[in-house]
Amino acid sequence: MRTQVGIVGAGPAGLLLSHLLHLRGIESVVLEIRSRAEIESTIRAGVLEQGTVDLLAQVGLGERMKREGAVHRGIALRFGGRTHRIDLHELTCGKCITLYAQHEVLKDLIKARLEAGGQVLFDVADVSVHDTFGKAPKIRFREGGEGGKGGEPRELSCDFVAGCDGFHGICRSALPDSVRREYPRIYPFGWFGILTRAPRSTPELIYAHHDRGFALVSTRSPEIQRLYFQCDPNDDVANWPDERIWAELQARLAAEDGWKLHEGPILQKSIIAMRSFVIEPMQHGRLFLAGDAAHIVPPTGAKGMNLAIADVRVLAQGLEQYFASGSTALLDRYSEVCLRRVWRAQRFSRWMTEATHRFEGDPGVGAKLQLAELDYVTSSRAAATSLAENYVGLPLDGP
């Protein structure tokens, strides 16, 4: 097999990159170890920045998002039992966020790629990348059978390889130890997340600081809601019957005005680890990393999918220049441009996390400082504007 760009991973980064390249007349093949059904049914969060929404609409992927997504013009910070609204729309001159789940974005991308005749190979196995420092990289894999097992060995020759295969993928390890630097951080807590069939309790997201720990009220649709609360990352979901979950959420989200969370049947329970990670550089030779393969952020700042989309936007521009003129000027700056945004997102996500979560062993000073920080953010227009600008998304960088 031969293509111009071999893409490992059919997540938001890999599929959007393939779509952007197609619009520029550049061929690609996407390889994915999971099935299409698994990708489209795995429910993930989806807070889209204004720039992400604008880009998806610009490239023909915004029709269903605009019809079914929930536009939020603000968020709420709740602490000390009081709710303080941050008006994102007013503070950022008209920008908003859109809640549209990641698996819905993936459905739109897969549909667009297949309708355009794009090659997206699901259920492959034994994927490996080779010769990425030369001019003829190769991707080897098995296709066919269950999960690629038992399939015939295949080799995809390409001009470039895009590693969009997530944090646990194989592409990051292809960067030599001598050139890569990794910056990990593990937080001492996780998020217990539930999906519930219940009416909306609030028109906008609520970030709650409480002595018992952090809680978040999100939404998916008028009937399905997503809720989280801070927990021990080593806990077991079996320790949390529905009654205990609702009692904990009601306690952490209690407000002076008597507001109550709407309860309903719990459809899904999971514990999410909290960590951050960055690799530098995000490229070596003709291998380029994008999305979770290169960086992870705590979910508090809602930056994960947005960073992936920002990455491939930059990469698509560089590849377009190369195939049009032979110049590598933009590709050479890929890491520099992307990492500037990545580290700003890490800074903001860390700030959001440390301002709202309970840290075990804290003598009490930390909690007082958190409350002072939240009080400042909600009483200072300058501080609120800074939060709003980061939350709706800083301007997309270009090479």
The 10s digit of each residue's pLDDT in 111-136 is 999 999 999 999 999 999 999 999 99
Domain-embedded: residue 15: yes
- CB-based burial of residue 155 (10 Å sphere; 0-12 exposed, 13-18 middle, 19+ buried)? exposed
Per the CB < 8 A criterion, the answer to whether 44 and 102 are in contact is yes
Indicate the pLDDT class of residue 387, thresholds 50, 70 and 90. Answer: very high
The residue ranges of DSSP E strands in the chain, in sequence order, are 5-8, 28-31, 47-48, 70-72, 75-79, 82-86, 97-99, 119-121, 125-130, 138-146, 149-157, 160-163, 181-197, 206-208, 215-217, 224-231, 266-280, 283-284, 287-289, 295-296
Gap between the terminal Cα atoms of the chain: 31
Q: How far apart are CA 293 and CA 368, in angstroms?
A: 37
Domain around 36 = 5-46+101-180+281-353
Domain-embedded: residue 114: yes
CATH number at residue 245: 3.30.9.10
Q: How far is CA 335 from CA 117, 283, 346, in A?
A: 31, 6, 16
Q: Are residues 210 and 293 in the same domain?
A: no
Task: Give the position of tokens 């952090």.
Answer: 214
Average pLDDT for the chain: 95
Q: How far apart are CA 379 and CA 396, in angstroms?
A: 29
Q: Are residues 109 and 17 in the same domain?
A: yes
Q: How far apart are CA 394 and CA 371, in angstroms?
A: 26
Q: How many separate domains does the chain show?
A: 2
Domain-embedded: residue 270: yes
Q: How far apart are CA 5 and CA 119, in angstroms?
A: 11
Active site residues: 72, 207, 299, 303, 391
398 pLDDT above the threshold of 60: no
Q: How far apart are CA 192 and CA 252, in angstroms?
A: 13
The 10s digit of each residue's pLDDT in 149-161 is 668 899 999 999 9
The 10s digit of each residue's pLDDT in 309-322 is 999 999 999 999 99
Q: Could you give the maximum distance between any two Cα atoms of the chain, in Å?
A: 65
* pTM given for the model: 0.95
The 10s digit of each residue's pLDDT in 228-266 is 999 999 999 999 999 999 999 999 999 999 999 999 999
Q: How far apart are CA 64 and CA 45, in angstroms?
A: 17
CATH number at residue 169: 3.50.50.60
